[in-house]
Amino acid sequence: MLRLASVVVCVAALSNCTGDVATGTVDAGADADAGTVDAGTTVADAGYPAWRRGLALHQWAEIAGTSGAGGAAVDAWGALAENKQTAELYIAASGGHSDSADNRVVSIALMADAPTWTLRHASSTNTPTDVLYYPDGLPTSRHLYHHLHYLPGRNVVLLGGCRYGYGGGTPTGPGMDAFDLTTNQWLPKLTFADITPFNGYVVEVDGDGAAWSTSGNRFVPSTNTWSTPGTGVGLGRFPQAFAPSRRIIFNVQFGDGQGYDLNLGLTARRLDTTTGNSVAITFTPSTALTELTTAQPNYAGMDYDAAHDRFLFTWAGETGKVYVITPNDTTTWAVSVLATTGLPTMIPGSGINKRFRYLPTLGGFVLQPRASSNLFFLPTA
């Protein structure tokens, strides 16, 4: 049984951080009005793997020996899926468009003292362009964005539709293709029903194991059925994250999240996974909100920090900068900035997408800036 780290300093105040509307920052040491988070507080615990022990709170740290992404083409708008309980990461069929035909599946177990990438399934060898499935029946590689997910009830990695598949014609399709992590084999086509209606891609999985598309459509694996339980307004594109304690999926983006439709400005929505209905979220004016809006982030990454009831958001254009979005029961939330040190180098372009993931078992967030880089870890507890 793994034991989560005991923080040497008092971090209880973090759970009450609301941000300062004047400075837009968060205080971990005293009063939220003070406006800073103290970095450099040491945490150490024998329940963590060797690489995680003794890391400083809010200080980025490289995980040695984790570069290369197992040969997967994650720089082509790639993503990570994660098992939050075991802290294992997965990449499947990353590539697409004219970037790569490789549909390999790889994983890395971060609970290991010295984690390294493992090849779960080699790429198909016959890889024609502009098809949804290669001649061997396996799904084509594609830009993953935020459409790669782990289904804990089935122990599979799910491709939530094909977006910009391999080839100049950029094939797209509604296939819910899945890789079985128990057998290390792709499940047969249509094991999971195609996205219906096909008006959005799967962007998140809720606490019941149901998969949700951007359009508010829900897939229940146990019944293999799609439905639209709410009004169908759904969410924006990305990034988005599920908050188990609130039973909501939250989306925030600038423009369309890809650097286009900038006239849309900063938009956000909260979807209730019980009803399927979503509402618009606005933000309290603050320096951090101005900075976020001015930055016009694209291809960003975000996940929910369950230990502190907050969403952390980062993107490649502001290397290592982390925004904190603090939810509440109203439709007006707060934005602040988390003070961090040891910033990793990130490269704008294809961005971060779903490669910034919260791992509760390790008490923090993992980041994959690019394929050639080691993974980075940001302790938050």
Summarised one tens digit per residue, pLDDT across range 227-268 is 999 999 999 999 999 999 999 999 999 999 998 999 999 999
Domain shared by 196 and 289, yes or no: no
Asked if the structure places residue 9 within a domain, the reply is: yes
Could you tell me if residue 259 is inside a domain? no
Instruction: Note the pTM of the prediction, 2 decimals.
Output: 0.88
Cα 204 from Cα 314, distance rounded (Å) = 18
What's the pLDDT score for residue 260? Answer: 92
Rounded to an integer, the average pLDDT of 204-223 is 96
Q: Are 147 and 214 part of one and the same domain?
A: yes
CA dist 77 to 87, 148, 351, Å?
Answer: 22, 11, 7
Q: What is the pLDDT of residue 364?
A: 98
- Planar angle of CA 373, 88, 70, nearest 5 degrees: 40
Query: Would you say residue 277 lies in a domain?
Result: no
Backbone angles phi, psi at 71, to 5 degrees: 90, -5
CA distance 197 to 217: 8
- The reply to whether 63 and 103 lie within a common domain is no
Concatenated DSSP letters for 328-362?
A: -SSSEEEEEEE--BSPPP--TTT--SS-EEEEGGG
For residues 220 and 81, state if they share a domain.
yes
Q: Are residues 85 and 208 in the same domain?
A: yes
Residue 137 lies inside a defined structural domain of this protein:
yes
Q: Identify residue 309 by its one-letter amino acid code.
A: D
**Do residue 23 and residue 93 come from a single domain?**
no
For residues 295 and 329, state if they share a domain. yes
Edge-to-edge strands, sheet with 88-92: 81-83, 88-92, 105-109, 117-121
Specify if 234 maps to a domain.
Answer: no
212 and 336 share one domain? no
Between 45-49, 93-97, 170-174, 268-272, the lowest mean confidence (pLDDT) is in 45-49
Amino acid at 135: P
In a domain, 328, yes or no: yes
Q: Comparing 5-19, 100-114, 259-273, which segment has the lowest mean pLDDT? A: 5-19
Mean pLDDT value across residues 8-28:
33
**Cβ-contact 38, 354 below 8 angstroms:** no
Is 252 among the domain residues?
no
Q: Residues 49, 141: one domain?
A: no
In a domain, 248, yes or no: no
Q: Which of 213, 228, 243 is the endpoint of a domain?
A: 228
Question: What confidence score (pLDDT) does residue 44 get?
Answer: 56
- CATH number of the domain within which 212 lies: 2.120.10.80
Domain that holds residue 62: 1-70+283-381
Residues 302 and 364 in one domain: yes
Residues 6 or more apart whose CB falls under 8 angstroms from that of 303 comprise 241, 311, 312, 356, 357, 358, 365
Same domain, 21 and 108: no
| pLDDT tens by residue, 43-96 | 457 689 999 999 999 999 999 999 999 999 999 999 999 999 999 999 999 999
Q: Count up the domains in the chain and report the number.
A: 2
